[in-house]
A and B are shown apart, each in its own frame.
Chain A
Amino acid sequence: MAFDTQYTNQEFKVVGKRVLRPDGIDKVTGRARYGADMNAPGQLVGRILRSPHAHAKIRAIDTSKAEKLKGVKAVVTAADLPDLTRGDMGMYDTLENCMARGRALYDGHAVAAVAAIDADIARKALKLIKVDYEILPHVTDVDEAMKPGAPIVQPRIRTVGVNPAPTKPSNISQVSEFGHGDLDAGFAEADVIVEKSYKTEQTHQGYIEPHACLASVGPDGQAELWVTTQGPYMQRNTCAALLGLEVAKLRVTASEIGGGFGGKTHVWMEPVALALSRKANRPVKLVLTREEVFRGTGPTCSTSMDIKIGARRDGTITAAQAVLRYQDGAFPNIWGMLGAMTAWACYDLKNVKATAYDVLVNRPKVAAYRAPSAPMAAFGVESTMDLVAAEIGMDPVELRIKNAAKEGTRASYGPTYGPIGIGPTLEAAKNHPHMKAPLGANQGRGMACGFWFNFGGQTCVDLNIGQDGTVNLAVGTVDVGGARASLSMIAAEELGIPYEKVKCIVADTASLGHNDTTEGSRGTFSSGMATVFAARDAVRVLRERAAKTWDIPVDRVEWRDGKAHAFGDEHGNLAPLSLEELAAKAARTGGPIAGHNEIVADGAGVSFATHICDIEVDPETGKSRILRYTVIQDAGKAIHPDYVEGQFQGAAAQGIGWALNEEYIYGADGRLQNPGFLDYRIAVCSDLPMLDTQILEIPNPNHPYGIRGVGETSIVPPLAAIANAMSNAAGVRMTHTPMSPPRVLKAIREAHGA
C-alpha cells in the first residue's frame, strides 16, 4: 500500500514529549544482553592470532602443534575461508581483512584462529601456532604513502578516477573531484586569499563494548549468529556470502549494543567465528579484547589537506578549493571522496572545487565513524574560514552567515538544497547568550559549522496488535540512540494510544524483510517513516473491523484518538469502538490485526549544526580546558528531545576528544603503540562541562513528520570550533589534531618565545 511521504504539519500528542526510555532499567541493572552475554550449550572459546608486523609475507603457517593440544577443537586459517567472492572486490577485501591471505597488511591483521574448550587452552594454542613471516617494507603515513617509491600496500590497485588509466600499482586507490564554476576566475576576483595545510591523526570510535559474537553452524548448513552490530542484515548477507551459506538459513540476531558510532557497520571477526564453529561443529563465542579492537577493527582516517579560500573585503567568498588526502587503511574505500563531498557543503559558492585522494597504508581497514570523513574536512575549511574573517576584519559568524547555503543553493557536491538549517543555526548562534558571555585571561571563544548528508534506505517494519490492545512493533534497524523509544512514540501517535501501550523490539533477520544497517542517521528517519505507514496500515484494518462489527461501509469509519468512530447522518450515533475492544474481538472479525510496511526511504534531509566553544589554555603547559560548549543543530523534528539532545552532546563529546587528545600512535616499526584506553585518551566525564544544546526544527519536506537524522552532524564542528577558540585564547593557530598539550605548548613557544 502506497503512502504519501510528504511532510504535513500535523499536531502531535505523543511525539515531542520526553517519555521514559524502554531500555533504561535493563541497562542500569545489568539485565540487558550485549554481544558477550549470550551462551550456548557446549560452546567453545574462540581466539584470534594477529600479525605483529605492519607488512609481511606469510611464507607458512604451522598449526599442527596447536591442533594436537588437548581441548583444542578447531584451528582455522585463510585456507578454511576459501574465496567464494566471484570477482566482487569489496567482498574480497572483507574476506582478506577477516583473515590474512598470504600477506599481513597491518599490525593486528588476523592470521589464524582457534576454538578451544576454555580460554586458557585457547591462549596456549595461539602460542603453539608458528607463522613464518618475511617482513616487508611498510608505510603508515598518508603523505609518505603517496610518494613515488613508497612500499605498495595492495599491488592489484590501479588508481581510479585519473586519465589515462594507470598501468602501474599505486597506493592512491581513487581520485575524486567535486565542485563547479571557475576557480581561477574566482581567485582573481578575491581581495584576500588564505591558504593553509592541515593534518588530523587517526581516531577510533571508542565504543565501550568490544566486538563479540556467538556463532553456531550445524552440519546441515543451518546457522545462527548472535552479534553486537549496527547491521544484522549486513552481517547475514556478508557472512553467508563468505561462508557459502544460504541467506535464509543464517539467522542473525543483533544484541543490545554498547556503542557503535559506525565501527559496527562492518564485518570483522564474525566470519572467523562461523568458520571455527563449522569446523568444530560446536557453537563458538568470540569476544575481542580492547587491544584487538584498536589493532584489528576500523578506526577513521588520518588525513592531510590543503585549503584555499579567496574572498572580497565585503566577505563574499569568490573561490574555494580543498585538496584532501585520506588514508583508508590497507583496503580501498571512499572516505576521501566523502570528505570532498562534505567539505564545502555549508556554503553557497560560485567557484568551488574539492579533490580527494583515497590512499592505502599499512593500518587497519578504515570504517565509518559518525559522519565519516566530514570532521576532518571541516577542521580545514572552518579553521580557514576564521583566518579569512580575521584577514578582512569581519566577525566569523557574519562571514559564515553571508556565505551560508540556503534553499535553492546548488551544493558543491551536486544537488540543489531544499529547506535547510545552516542559516538558522548561524542566526541562533549569533543571538545565543553564549556569544556575549564574558571571558577571562587565557580564555577564548570559537565557533564552527558542520554538515552531514543523512541516509534513508531499505526498511521493513511489522506492527502487531495483541488481544489486550497493546502493540508490538518489530523493526530491523538496531537501536543505537533511542530508536525504540522514538519509534514506539510514532506508533502510539498514529494509533492514538498512549506510548506505554507500545513495545518495540529489534527483530532478528529471519523475522523481517531486509533492513539496511543503522548508519547515516537513518534509524529514526527510515524506520520512523515505515512505522508511520505500518501503523496507518493497521488503522486501515482496524477501520475495516469496526465497519464489519457495525455492518456499515468502511468509508463511514474514521480513526481518531485510539478509537473507530462512525460518521455520517445514518451512523453518527454509534458508540466508538476502542483499539482494546477491536483487539479483543479480532478472532471473530477476521483474525490478528497487524500493519506492515516495506520501503526504500528516500529524501533523508541534510542536517547542519553550528557550535560555540569557550576554552582556557594554560600558557605554561599548553593544557586546555573546555569552559562552555553550545551545540545548535537542526533536527527536522525532535521525536524524543532527550535523545536528540543526547545525540548532540555525544557527538560533540567525541569531537572534543578527537580535537584534544585522541590519536593512533605508530612506532617506526609500524606497530600501534597505544592500543588501550590508558594511552588512547578519549575525553573522560570530568574533562567536559555540561554540553548545552539548542534544537532547531526545520521540517524535512520528505518525511511525514519532518524528521531529519540527528546522530552524526555534531561530531563535525568541534575540531575547528576548538582550534578557533584556542587561537583566540592563546594566539596560536593549531593545524594538527589532536591539539594535545605538547603540540600546543610547542606552538606557543614558536609564536611567542619562552
Chain B
Amino acid sequence: MRYESPKTTKEAAGLLAKAKGNAFVLAGGTDLLVRLKSEVIDPDLIVDIKRIPAMQGVTKTAAGFRIGAATSCAELGENAALKKAWPGVVEAATIIGSDQVQGRCTVVGNLCNASPAADSVPAMVAAGAKAVIVGPKGRRTVGVEKVVAGPGKTTLKKGEVIEAILLGKGGAKTGDAYLRFIPRTEMDIAVVSAGICLTLGPRGIIKEAKVALGAVGPTVEIVSAATKVLVGSTLDEATLEQLAVVCSAACRPIDDKRGTIEFRTEVAGVLARRAAKIAYQRAGGK
C-alpha cells in the first residue's frame, strides 16, 4: 500500500489518474480507516488531501461560501458566518458521529462515501450546494446531488477529486434545516432524514422550497411534489400535513438492520414537517 500526501489538487488528481489497483482519497478517514481496519478494503494507493492548501478551511466569496474538501465538520461548526447563513447544513455536519469524529470528518468525505444515510448530503442538496471537481480534463462544478450514483458509488471519473463545496450567500429570507432520526442521541447513522431549504417572499409566503430526504432510497430523494406543496403557502397546518404525505409517498426505502420500510416511510413525513417549521422560522416566517 502506497501513501501519498500531495500539495496541490492537480497533483492529487494526477496520482489518482495514474493509479493502478484500488486507490482511495483520505480526508478525515472516519470511514476509510474503519473500512481499512475491518478489512473491507485493501488499498494499493491512499492519497491524503489534508496537505493541500486549496482544500483547507471555509472562505467567504463573492457568491457565498467555499468549503475546502479537507475542512473538518467541527470547523464548520466554529464558523459563525457559515452557521448564520446555512444553519441546516452546519447542523447536519455537526451531528455526524461524535465530537471526536467531527474533529476529523468532512462533508466532502461524507458525500463521496456515498452512503444513502449520509447526514450532510440532504442538507447540502436542499441548500443548493455545488461541488468543484478537479480531474485530468480540468475543472467542473456540479450540483451536489449529481455526485452520488448509488450506495457506495459516485459519478466521479478516474482521476477526479472534489476540491471544494460551494454554497450561496443565504439571506435574511432564506432558512434551512436538517433533522434525522436515530434511535439514540449520538454515535449513530440516520435511519431516515430530511433537509429543507425555504425562501420567503412578502407576507411570509414561501417563494422557493427544496426538500431532500435521506436513507429512503439509494440516493438522496429530492421531493419535487413537496416543493409544489410548499411554494405559495405560509406553512399552515394543512400544508404541513400535505408535506408529510408527499414526502412519505416519495420514499423508496428498504428493510434493514437499521429500520423498516414502514417506519422510514412514516417518519420521513414527520421529519419533513418538523424541519419545515424550523426552516420557515429561520427564513423569518412566523
- 8 Å CB contact of B185 from A289, A678, A686: A686
A623 lies within 8 A of B259 (CB): no
Supposing A123-B39, A742-B263 touch, asked if A674 and B257 sit within 8 A by C-beta, the answer is yes
Instruction: Give every chain A residue within 8 A of B189 (Cβ-Cβ).
Output: 678-679
Taking the nearest CB of chain A, how far is it from the CB of B30, in angstroms? 12
Instruction: Give every chain A residue within 8 A of B258 (Cβ-Cβ).
Output: 679
Supposing A621-B267, A741-B263, A745-B263 touch, asked if A679 and B257 sit within 8 A by C-beta, the answer is yes
Cα distance, A520 to B267, chains bound together (Å): 43
Question: Which residue of chain B is the closest to A666 with respect to CB atoms?
Answer: B257
Question: Which residue of chain A is the closest to B42 with respect to CB atoms?
Answer: A123
Q: Is residue B100 contacting chain A, with contact meaning CB distance below 8 A? A: no
Q: Is residue B4 contacting chain A, with contact meaning CB distance below 8 A? A: no
Cα distance, A621 to B259, chains bound together (Å): 12
Interface set, chain B 152-205, CB cutoff 8 A to A = 181, 183-189, 191
Question: Which residue of chain B is the closest to A291 with respect to CB atoms?
Answer: B38
B263 lies within 8 A of A683 (CB): no
A661 lies within 8 A of B184 (CB): yes
Cα distance, A681 to B186, chains bound together (Å): 11
A745 lies within 8 A of B183 (CB): no
Cα distance, A661 to B187, chains bound together (Å): 13
B185 lies within 8 A of A687 (CB): yes
Taking the nearest CB of chain A, how far is it from the CB of B241, in angstroms? 12
Taking the nearest CB of chain A, how far is it from the CB of B178, in angstroms? 16
Taking the nearest CB of chain B, how far is it from the CB of A116, in angstroms? 15
- 8 Å CB contact of A681 from B38, B181, B183, B263: B183
Cα distance, A660 to B185, chains bound together (Å): 12
Taking the nearest CB of chain A, how far is it from the CB of B90, in angstroms? 19
A687 lies within 8 A of B184 (CB): yes
Q: Is residue A684 contacting chain B, with contact meaning CB distance below 8 A? A: yes
Cα distance, A289 to B263, chains bound together (Å): 32
Question: Which residue of chain B is the closest to A665 with respect to CB atoms?
Answer: B257
Instruction: Give every chain A residue within 8 A of B45 (Cβ-Cβ).
Output: none
Is chain B's interface secondary structure helix, strand, loop, or mixed overall? loop
Cα distance, A677 to B98, chains bound together (Å): 13
Question: Which residue of chain A is the closest to B192 with respect to CB atoms?
Answer: A621
Instruction: Give every chain A residue within 8 A of B191 (Cβ-Cβ).
Output: 741
Write out, one digit per residue, whether chain B residues 66-105 have a CB within 8 A of any chain A CB (1) or not (0). Answer: 0000000000000000000000000000000000000000
Instruction: Give every chain B residue within 8 A of A621 (Cβ-Cβ).
Output: 181, 267, 270
- 10 smallest A-B Cβ distances: which pairs? A742-B263, A686-B185, A620-B270, A665-B257, A673-B257, A742-B260, A661-B183, A684-B187, A674-B257, A687-B185
Q: Is residue B11 contacting chain A, with contact meaning CB distance below 8 A? A: no
Cα distance, A676 to B187, chains bound together (Å): 12
A-B contact count (CB 8 A): 53
Cα distance, A203 to B135, chains bound together (Å): 48
Interface set, chain A 266-292, CB cutoff 8 A to B = 289, 291
Write out, one digit per residue, whether chain B residues 204-215 have a CB within 8 A of any chain A CB (1) or not (0). Answer: 000000000000
- 8 Å CB contact of A745 from B39, B188, B266: B266
Supposing A123-B39, A620-B270 touch, asked if A740 and B187 sit within 8 A by C-beta, the answer is no
Taking the nearest CB of chain A, how far is it from the CB of B99, in angstroms? 11
Instruction: Give every chain A residue within 8 A of B263 (Cβ-Cβ).
Output: 622, 741-742, 745-746
Write out, one digit per residue, whether chain A residues 218-233 have a CB within 8 A of any chain B CB (1) or not (0). Answer: 0000000000000000
Question: Which residue of chain B is the closest to A619 with respect to CB atoms?
Answer: B270
A684 lies within 8 A of B183 (CB): no
Q: Is residue B44 contacting chain A, with contact meaning CB distance below 8 A? A: no
B184 lies within 8 A of A684 (CB): yes
Interface set, chain B 235-286, CB cutoff 8 A to A = 257-260, 262-263, 266-267, 270
Cα distance, A686 to B186, chains bound together (Å): 7
Chain A residues within CB distance 8 Å of chain B = 123, 289, 291, 620-623, 660-661, 665, 673-674, 676-679, 681, 683-684, 686-687, 740-742, 745-746
Supposing A681-B188, A746-B262 touch, asked if A740 and B257 sit within 8 A by C-beta, the answer is no
Is chain A's interface secondary structure helix, strand, loop, or mixed overall? loop
Instruction: Give every chain A residue within 8 A of B184 (Cβ-Cβ).
Output: 661, 681, 683-684, 686-687
- 8 Å CB contact of B259 from A660, A674, A683, A742: A742
In addition to A291-B38, A622-B263, A681-B183, 14 A-B residue pairs with Cβ atoms within 8 Å of each other are A289-B38, A621-B181, A623-B183, A660-B183, A665-B257, A673-B257, A674-B257, A684-B185, A686-B186, A740-B183, A742-B263, A745-B263, A746-B262, A746-B263
Question: Which residue of chain B is the closest to A663 with respect to CB atoms?
Answer: B257
Cα distance, A660 to B267, chains bound together (Å): 18
Instruction: Give every chain B residue within 8 A of A620 (Cβ-Cβ).
Output: 267, 270
Instruction: Give every chain A residue within 8 A of B260 (Cβ-Cβ).
Output: 742
Instruction: Give every chain A residue within 8 A of B257 (Cβ-Cβ).
Output: 665, 673-674, 679
Instruction: Give every chain A residue within 8 A of B270 (Cβ-Cβ).
Output: 620-621
List 22 contacting pairs A-B, 8 Å CB cutoff, sorted by A: A123-B39, A289-B38, A291-B38, A620-B267, A621-B267, A623-B181, A623-B183, A677-B187, A678-B187, A678-B188, A678-B189, A679-B189, A681-B188, A684-B184, A686-B184, A686-B186, A687-B185, A741-B191, A741-B263, A742-B262, A745-B266, A746-B262
Question: Which residue of chain A is the closest to B258 with respect to CB atoms?
Answer: A679
Instruction: Give every chain B residue within 8 A of A676 (Cβ-Cβ).
Output: 38
A741 lies within 8 A of B188 (CB): no
Taking the nearest CB of chain A, how far is it from the CB of B276, in angstroms? 14
Instruction: Give every chain B residue within 8 A of A674 (Cβ-Cβ).
Output: 257
B183, B191, B266, B270, most chain A CB atoms within 10 A = B183
Instruction: Give every chain B residue within 8 A of A623 (Cβ-Cβ).
Output: 181, 183
Cα distance, A123 to B39, chains bound together (Å): 9
Cα distance, A123 to B42, chains bound together (Å): 11
Instruction: Give every chain B residue within 8 A of A687 (Cβ-Cβ).
Output: 184-185
Supposing A674-B257, A742-B262 touch, asked if A684 and B186 sit within 8 A by C-beta, the answer is yes
Taking the nearest CB of chain B, how far is it from the CB of A649, in angstroms? 18
Cα distance, A740 to B260, chains bound together (Å): 11
Taking the nearest CB of chain A, how far is it from the CB of B67, in angstroms? 26
B187, B189, B191, most chain A CB atoms within 10 A = B187
Cα distance, A615 to B74, chains bound together (Å): 32
Cα distance, A661 to B188, chains bound together (Å): 12
Taking the nearest CB of chain B, how far is it from the CB of A289, in angstroms? 7
Taking the nearest CB of chain B, how far is it from the CB of A205, in angstroms? 18
Cα distance, A623 to B270, chains bound together (Å): 12
Cα distance, A742 to B191, chains bound together (Å): 10
Taking the nearest CB of chain B, how far is it from the CB of A658, in angstroms? 13
Question: Which residue of chain A is the closest to B260 with respect to CB atoms?
Answer: A742
Instruction: Give every chain B residue within 8 A of A291 (Cβ-Cβ).
Output: 38
Instruction: Give every chain B residue within 8 A of A745 (Cβ-Cβ).
Output: 263, 266-267
Taking the nearest CB of chain A, how far is it from the CB of B145, in angstroms? 26
Cα distance, A665 to B266, chains bound together (Å): 23
Question: Which residue of chain B is the closest to A661 with respect to CB atoms?
Answer: B183
Taking the nearest CB of chain B, how far is it from the CB of A629, in angstroms? 15
Cα distance, A741 to B231, chains bound together (Å): 32
Cα distance, A676 to B189, chains bound together (Å): 13
Instruction: Give every chain A residue within 8 A of B38 (Cβ-Cβ).
Output: 289, 291, 676
Instruction: Give every chain B residue within 8 A of A665 (Cβ-Cβ).
Output: 257
B185, B186, B257, most chain A CB atoms within 10 A = B257
Question: Which residue of chain B is the closest to A120 with respect to CB atoms?
Answer: B1
Question: Which residue of chain A is the closest to B1 with respect to CB atoms?
Answer: A120
Taking the nearest CB of chain A, how far is it from the CB of B257, in angstroms? 5
Taking the nearest CB of chain A, how far is it from the CB of B26, in angstroms? 19
Cα distance, A56 to B39, chains bound together (Å): 24
Question: Which residue of chain B is the closest to A618 with respect to CB atoms?
Answer: B270
